[in-house]
Amino acid sequence: MKKFIIFLTIFYIAFIALMPKENLYYTLKNRLKAERVVLTEDRISDNLIALKGEKVSLFYDGIKSVEADEFSVMALGVYNKIDLLNVGAAKDLKNMFGFSADEVNITYALWHYKKALISASGDFGSIEGTLELSSGVLKLLLDPSLAFEKSPLIRQYFKKSEEGYTYESKIK
């Protein structure tokens, strides 16, 4: 039994280390094209644990919408995490959405198998939330900064509640 557990552990570590992370990323990019979403990046690198990229941009319907300086995707099977650093609206959209995030984290773990956890912080304040995977319901709770609290964006997208400012939406 002990040999089997050692073999299984070595197999798991080798599987994670040798997983073709770049190929999976390019497959995801091709699938997103069907949803009118295009990702571009300056550089992609694959280390044993994570896939890292620099200067990534997201285009929706041909419009550059979001930019991030760095991203990292760690897929361990039982614990998966996406980190984005210095995320902001693209130049054309900065007038409408002038706020940016220093860091965005999306985490999925088997012990919370029904939802993905979301957290972000930036000049807008901080956001904590969940994405219910079975129903597609996104729930966010915002603790706004003073500047963002005075912004019309907060009233347009977030509702004031007992907990703070909340946002809820259903994703297809």
Instruction: Give me the count of residues in the chain.
Output: 172
Contacts of range 31-36, beta carbons closer than 8 Å, 24 or more positions apart? 36/60, 36/61
Q: What are the tens digits of pLDDT across the range 54-87?
A: 999 899 888 888 899 999 999 888 899 999 999 9
Write down the pLDDT at residue 130: 96
Q: Which helix (H) or strand (E) holds 4?
A: helix 2-18
- Tell me if 59 sits within 8 A of 36, measured CB to CB: no
Q: What are the tens digits of pLDDT across the range 111-150?
A: 988 999 999 999 888 999 999 999 999 999 998 888 777 7
- Tell me if 117 sits within 8 A of 107, measured CB to CB: yes
Residue 99 clears pLDDT 90, i.e. is over it: no
- Tell me if 49 sits within 8 A of 74, measured CB to CB: yes
Nearest-angstrom CA–CA distance, 113 and 66: 28
Nearest-angstrom CA–CA distance, 34 and 79: 28
- Tell me if 43 sits within 8 A of 97, measured CB to CB: no
C-alpha count within 13 angstroms, C-beta hemisphere, residue 83: 10
Write down the pLDDT at residue 107: 96
Task: Return the structure tokens found at 78.
Answer: 């039982």
Write down the pLDDT at residue 100: 82
Region 36-58 average pLDDT: 89
Task: Return the structure tokens found at 47.
Answer: 């280390």
Write down the pLDDT at residue 25: 87
Residue 109 clears pLDDT 90, i.e. is over it: yes
Domain boundaries, the chain: 1-72, 99-172
Output the average pLDDT for the chain: 87
Residue 43, classed as helix, strand or coil, is: strand
